[in-house]
A and B are shown apart, each in its own frame.
Chain A
């Protein structure tokens, strides 16, 4: 038995034999990556459904007409408001990565500061989305109701609003979850949990999630507002 064990130990020296970690990444971080991969499939399915329905239609509502309002501007300002939303989310991704960078230097106060800015960015984005939904709802748009006509003047598909509210809603729910998780992590930063642990890996993990939310928005922005 003893010789068997030592032989097994001898084999375990290359990365794929269990000798060392082939990914050289902490377990939770790896699992966050695989969760995000599965989430990417979910969002892809939603966006591809939108694409397929749009491809099957002769005409479709013009985003420059549907999304032409901003607070204080009733119409004639396409992309302005969604541009602000995009900027807020990119900015909060930057503050998140700055929090991660501060975590590597174990600068507790700085991690806290950047986390606070990230949370503010997330809340600002959600506020913008609430405004946009309210505005569209006042115009008569909701699940099952599409007041917008197609570019060629024909009646628009109800699936336009169905998918708009479902996809931006699902994304908004991710942002909301991200804000909640960010707050939990911030409390732990302030409480000194990670300082005692000796590393700020948890900030990195929530950072991955937060950047993913930004990543999804990049695609939602392109396929709903630009194309």
Chain B
């Protein structure tokens, strides 16, 4: 059965995600979350960094966490390039949508004030 051969071939690629690798990704995710807590509970209340910079760091760290979850836990990094592009490229629309809606929100605030 060609379908069976196919799955067997696929499983060889999957051996790249060992138990050791799984736990190292876990510690990275936990570490990033700990940094976010440190910023929220220590750095911002003490005034070491402002809300603007804090928010920028939060979003950067969130995207980093998203990368680790999608690339390693969801295994996308080890899939064929075609599949990776099919999933990642459409997300450009989300970026457009974010930019448009934040401009729009900003505009509403200005006409309210």
In the complex the two chains form, what is the Cα distance from A52 to B101 in whole Å?
5
Task: Point out the residue from B11, B66, B112 that lies within 8 Å of A219, measured CB to CB.
Answer: B66
A45 and B22 within 8 A (CB): no
In the complex the two chains form, what is the Cα distance from A98 to B17 in whole Å?
10
Q: Is the interface of B mostly helix, strand, loop or mixed?
A: helix
Chain A to chain B contacts (Cβ below 8 Å), 22 pairs: A15-B82, A24-B10, A24-B79, A25-B80, A26-B10, A41-B93, A48-B94, A48-B97, A48-B98, A51-B101, A56-B106, A56-B108, A56-B112, A57-B109, A64-B40, A93-B69, A97-B17, A97-B22, A97-B72, A98-B19, A212-B74, A218-B65
Most chain-B Cβ atoms within 10 A of its Cβ — which of A15, A78, A212, A222? Answer: A222
A30 and B83 within 8 A (CB): yes
User: Which stretch, A83-91, A122-130, A169-177, touches the partner chain B?
Assistant: A83-91
Of all chain A residues, which has the CB nearest B93? A41
Contacts of A199 in B (CB 8 A): 7, 11
B74 and A90 within 8 A (CB): no
Contacts of A53 in B (CB 8 A): 105
A211 and B69 within 8 A (CB): yes
Contacts of B30 in A (CB 8 A): 87, 90
A97 and B73 within 8 A (CB): yes
In the complex the two chains form, what is the Cα distance from A212 to B10 in whole Å?
22
B22 and A94 within 8 A (CB): yes
Q: Give the contacts of B48-72 with A (CB-CB under 8 A).
A: 55, 58-59, 62, 65-66, 69-70, 72
Task: Point out the residue from B7, B66, B94, B112 that lies within 8 Å of A201, measured CB to CB.
Answer: B7
Contacts of B37 in A (CB 8 A): 79, 83
Task: Point out the residue from B72, B87, B104 that lies within 8 Å of A52, measured CB to CB.
Answer: B104
B74 and A51 within 8 A (CB): no
Given A24-B79, A34-B86, 15 additional A-B pairs, CB 8 A: A24-B6, A37-B90, A44-B98, A48-B94, A55-B109, A56-B105, A56-B107, A56-B108, A78-B41, A93-B73, A94-B22, A214-B73, A215-B70, A221-B62, A227-B58
Of all chain A residues, which has the CB nearest B57? A226
In the complex the two chains form, what is the Cα distance from A90 to B40 in whole Å?
19
Known contacts A25-B83, A201-B7; decide if A98 and B113 are in contact (CB<8 Å).
no
Contact with A along B14-41 (1 / 0, CB 8 A): 1101110011001001100100110011
